[in-house]
Amino acid sequence: MLFPLESALKADSKSVAASGDYDIVIVGSGISGAIIAKQAAEAGKRVLVLEAGTGANSSLAGYNDLLTTFYSAATKDNQSPFPLNANAAMPRSTQLRKLQAGETDSSTYIVQSGPYAAICGPSCRSRFRNIP
């Protein structure tokens, strides 16, 4: 993904892929990643955005599939439309538990340190590399 749009229009994907030199690498193209990528690109930085999602919602049919998944989910939360993704495990609201004072939970890619954390024991952690 290239920001700003003018850069994307002037470059072909092969030349972009061949160049491994980036000033900034952003993991996740959610709202925060997209904003940071745009601001960095506008500041003249070469930005690479990595995304674990499937991009299924980039078409109308894909978007409608996500809506169907959301509406048919037994519980609704911000991840309800999306299938589980082993490359980016996201705690669901049904997995939350209260943390003790000073406790940190690093069982998913989001390290949580606060009043709530996902319930995810050693079996869950074993699915992810580099997580103690």
9 and 46 part of one domain: yes
Q: Model confidence over 35-55: pLDDT tens digits?
A: 999 999 999 998 988 888 777
Domain that holds residue 132: 85-132
72 and 102 part of one domain: no
37 and 62 part of one domain: no
92 and 132 part of one domain: yes
- What's the longest Cα–Cα distance across the chain? 53
14 and 36 part of one domain: yes
91 and 130 part of one domain: yes
Report the number of distinct structural domains present in the chain: 3
At 131 the pLDDT is: 42
73 and 115 part of one domain: no
DSSP structure class, residue 78: T
Q: Of residues 124 and 33, which shows the higher confidence score?
A: 33
45 and 14 part of one domain: yes
Residue 128 has pLDDT above 50, yes or no: no
Q: Which of 32, 6, 4 is nearest to 110 (CA)?
A: 32
* Locus of tokens 């980036």: 22
Q: How far apart are CA 130 and CA 124, in angstroms?
A: 13
